[in-house]
Amino acid sequence: MMGIPNLPDDNVPLGESEDDNIVIKTVGTPKEFNFIPKEHWDIGESTGIIDFTRGVKVAKSRFAALKGIGARLERALINYFLDFNRERGFEEWYVPFMANSNTLRGTGQLPKFEDDLFKIEGEDLYLIPTAEVSLTNLFNDEIVPQNELPMLLTSYTPCFRKEAGSAGRDTRGIIRQHQFDKVEMVAITKQEQSEEVFKKMVECASDLLTSLELPHQVVQLCTGDLGFSAATTIDLEVWLPGQGQYREISSISNTRDFQARRAKIRYKDGKKNMLCHTLNGSSLAVGRTLVAIIENNQNEDGSITVPSVLQKYM
């Protein structure tokens, strides 16, 4: 039973793969360059802000090191994302970067996706693949006071994934790494609140991209591309001129009561215990935002223009 995924909502389009996803709308217009735009790994190496060779030397493939302005831009993005989310009503948390097996079962990473997790030898601990795990399970096996719902949470964490099923995909650059930074949104709601909160979370992440002047599209995932725990998911895909295509930068899901059932997260409605609804979403994947800024704001002389909203953080 623990290996059976969530049931898709009735309005989720039927499909077999990402090719059957539906673009709901496009936000912003891709910039026209008077030169051929480069991909982020070429810009990163020419400016010296991304060091792929030393990242691999320290760890292994799919690791990179950021240097100087690159490292400062990563930190600026994290601070800006947290401030932006806090202004939208999300309470900031700082959570453990490791989680036990009960926690990972609660949000659906175990038992199905154990091969993609980094296990701590000799401990009932794993490195977290996303802050969704820690934030949601803060309330594992609790009855949350009804008057505290909805709870909106945000946190920065590094994320660790073996990328077990991604052989040969995105082997260059920092799109798909074993370690990456992310600022996450999580919501715990009453059952009748989750649809409204879902829309709010999509809007928050989209507005964040707009504030960075990054063109993106809003995409409804079909049944064949839906994640294990999700009942419905909206992806935000950012335009990367170096690649000439939109790439996922945020995935926002309403899991309904699927995770709350596994994690025993409840609230009292009168005398009756009700299962909460839980939601999660990237706001945003920091490394992919860094990539998008580098590619969209590149200049012909090789320099990169920092978005105005980030300049005070630099």
CA angle (314 as vertex; 60, 84 as ends), nearest 5? 90
- Euclidean distance between CA atoms 77 and 274, whole angstroms: 38
Packing angle between helix 286-296 and helix 69-87, nearest 10 degrees? 110
CB atoms within 10 A of CB 236: 26
Query: Of the residues 114, 195, 213, 248, which is catalytic?
Result: 248
Annotated active-site residue 161? The verdict is: yes
251 is catalytic: yes
Question: Which position among 62, 88, 161, 256 bears the catalytic label?
Answer: 161
**Can you tell me which residue has the tokens 């990179």?**
64
Torsion of CA 154, 214, 128, 79, to 10 degrees: -50
- CA 224, 243, 232 angle in degrees (round to 5)? 25
Out of 75, 176, 247, 261, pick the active-site residue.
176
Give kind and range of the element (H or E) at residue 275: strand 272-275
| Strand-by-strand arrangement of the 179-189 sheet | 22-27, 216-220, 232-240, 245-254, 277-285, 179-189, 151-160, 91-93
Is there a catalytic annotation at residue 176? yes
What are the CA-CA distances from residue 123 to residues 93, 102, 103, 233, 271 (Å)? Answer: 25, 13, 14, 33, 40
Rounded Cα distance between 104 and 113, Å, is 10
172 is catalytic: no
Q: Two tokens at 205?
A: 């992440």
Q: Which of 88, 256, 262, 288 is catalytic?
A: 288
**Which residue reads 């600022």 in tokens?**
183
For residue 210, give the amino acid letter.
T
Tokens (6 digits) for 191: 């059952």
Q: Which of 35, 74, 59, 37 is nearest to 314 (CA)?
A: 74
Find the catalytic residue in 134, 155, 229, 251: 251
Hey, what are 50's tokens? Answer: 């991304």
| Residues annotated as catalytic (active site), given as ranges | 161, 176, 248, 251, 288
